[in-house]
A = this chain, B = another copy of it.
Amino acid sequence: MMRADAVRNRRLLMDAAAAEFAENGMDVSITRIATRAGIGKGTVFRHFDTKEQLLAEIFSDRLEELVTAGLRLAESDDPAGALFEFMTIGTEIQARDRSFCQAAAALSRSESAVHTSRERLADVAETLVANAQRAGAIRDDITGLDIVLLLSAASQAVLSISEDAPGLWRRYLAMVFDGLRTRSAHPLPVPAPTRAQFTG
Binding site for B on A (CB under 8 A): 101, 104-105, 108, 142, 146, 149-154, 156-161, 164-165, 167-168, 170-172, 174-181, 183-186, 188-193, 197-198, 200
Give the dominant DSSP class at A's interface: helix
Which residues on the B side are within 8 Å of A190 (C-beta)? 167-168, 170-171, 174
Measured between alpha carbons, how far is A165 from B199 in the docked complex, in Å? 12
State how many angstroms separate the Cβ of A163 from the closest Cβ of chain B. Answer: 9
Which residues on the B side are within 8 Å of A174 (C-beta)? 186, 188-190
Whether B158 lies near A172 (C-beta < 8 A) is no
Whether A157 lies near B164 (C-beta < 8 A) is no
Whether A157 lies near B149 (C-beta < 8 A) is yes
State which of B142, B154, B171 has its C-beta within 8 Å of the C-beta of A192: B171
